[in-house]
Structure 1
Amino acid sequence: MQAVENFDAANDSGDHVDRMREILFGSQMREQAQRLVEVEQRLRQTSERLRSDMEQRLNQLETFVRNDLQRLEQQLRDDRRDRVAAIERIEQTLAGQQRTLDERLAELADRLNHEGHELREQLHEQGKQLAAELRQRHDEVQDRIDQEAGLLRDEKTGREELAGLFSELALRLNRQFNLPGDEQ
């Protein structure tokens, strides 16, 4: 029992101290507690406002980034589509130019072959004409040479006869040659 009395006494003295504190510092402690509650409430409100602002800004940033990425993706798709279309146009143009070039080269090759064939035929024909003309001229020259040779032979014979006549005449003049029927 004594322990209970001591406990009650200690309890009473603890209550007593609490009461004393309440009397001396009670109003200040309540004010401090109230201030702490108010500060806590302001901190909670500020924290909530900051969190809300941050969420709003993050949402705005996310929306901006998403929109910008979508715009860039669309721009990339458009650029790619434009490049593909430009490449296709260039390929078509090149294919057309290649066909035109091939056709022109084929025409040129045909024309060169045709003109080469015609030129060879012309050269062959001219060669035949020149050969015929050369044969004709050769024949003409040969005939002339033969004529001239004949004339020269005839002239040579005429010279020999003339020489014989002159010899005979000289002998007659010298009276060394007599013809039958000439009597002296």
Structure 2
Amino acid sequence: MSYRPHNLAVQMDDYEGEEFMSHKPPTDAPADNKPEKPRVVSVAPARDNPLNQDKDKLNRFSQINTGVLDKKLRVAETSLQKQEEMGNNFAEGLGASIGNVDKIRDILFGGQMRDYDKRFKRLEDRVSQDNMNFREEIFQRLKVLEERMDSEIDSLIEKTKLERQERQAALADLERELKALKNELNNRITQFDEQISRDIKNLRQQTLSKFQETALQIRQQNDSLTGLLNQEVSQLHDEKVNRSDLATFFHEMAVRMTKTYEEPSEIE
């Protein structure tokens, strides 16, 4: 049905073109529109005058051309009127055919299309509802995850803060302990230095006192030995002892002097 108007239009155009090119009047044209044959009035010119013959030919040619032009104009007007009428009829037929096609389509596929529309509507509603449910579920999950992450982050922040405070307290305790150990070590070193100084001073004093005592004892022993020697010498002068007694005397004196010099060295 969709190709018939097009074919009709093509046939109409072909028909009008042939009619216009053949210069034939349409068969269904009214009788009063038929062109009349031009009436040619011929005048017999003199055969011996060529100028008159040329004028006669020119008049006949002009009369024939005028009739042909009138005929062509009338045919063109008739074809335009037919074309306009056929165009109106074609538009009316096309509108009616379109309406009929819609009615036929509604009769054949109306129920099925309405069923498809209902199914598509239900499917669209279901997809929309599923989409809304999915979005709501995702939103709730993201909200729960966000809250959990916030709580975890807060707990980590608190734990980090507590660990930092504990480290700071431990560092402060360590610094105090190190400072106390340093002070104690300094005090012990100072006490040890003082004690060593006192011990060295006491040792020096004791050594000096012992040296003085030893020197005094040596001086006293020397004095006693000198006195004893002088006494013995005087006795020798007085008694004139023999050589053996003198040797014994000098031997005893040497032994005594040796013992006297050994005692101070042992004390030192």
Q: State the TM bucket, normalised to the shorter chain.
A: 0.7 to 0.9
Tell me which residue corresponds to 2:75: none
Gap change, CA 1:59 and 1:4, over 3 Å in 2:
farther
Q: How does 1:82-93 map to 2 (within 5 A)?
A: 82-93=166-177
Q: How does 1:2-151 map to 2 (within 5 A)?
A: 2-151=86-235
How far residue 158 of structure 1 moved from its aligned partner, in angstroms, is 7.9
Deviation >6 Å, runs of 4+: none
Q: TM-score by structure 1 length?
A: 0.77
After the TM superposition, which of the residue ranges 70-79 and 99-108 deviates more from structure 2?
99-108
- The AA in structure 1 aligned to 2:203 is L
Gap change, CA 1:113 and 1:11, over 3 Å in 2:
same
After the TM superposition, which of the residue ranges 109-118 and 67-76 deviates more from structure 2?
109-118
After the TM superposition, which of the residue ranges 116-125 and 4-13 deviates more from structure 2?
4-13
- The AA in structure 1 aligned to 2:119 is R
Partner SS for 1:30: helix
Unaligned runs of 5+ in 2: 1-84, 244-268
Q: Deviations over 1:95-139 (max 9, x none)?
A: 122222222221222222122211211111111111111222222
Q: TM-score by structure 2 length?
A: 0.55
How far residue 153 of structure 1 moved from its aligned partner, in angstroms, is 4.4
How far residue 63 of structure 1 moved from its aligned partner, in angstroms, is 0.9
* Structure exhibiting the larger radius of gyration computed from Cα positions: 2
Q: How many residues align?
A: 159
Which structure shows the higher helix fraction?
A: 1
- The AA in structure 1 aligned to 2:231 is Q
Identity %: 28
Gap change, CA 1:2 and 1:137, over 3 Å in 2:
farther
Q: CA RMSD in A?
A: 2.1
Question: How far apart, CA to CA, are the structure 2 residues paired with 1:102 and 1:59?
Answer: 63
After the TM superposition, which of the residue ranges 46-55 and 86-95 deviates more from structure 2?
86-95
Larger RCO: 1 or 2 (CA < 8 Å, sep 6+): 2
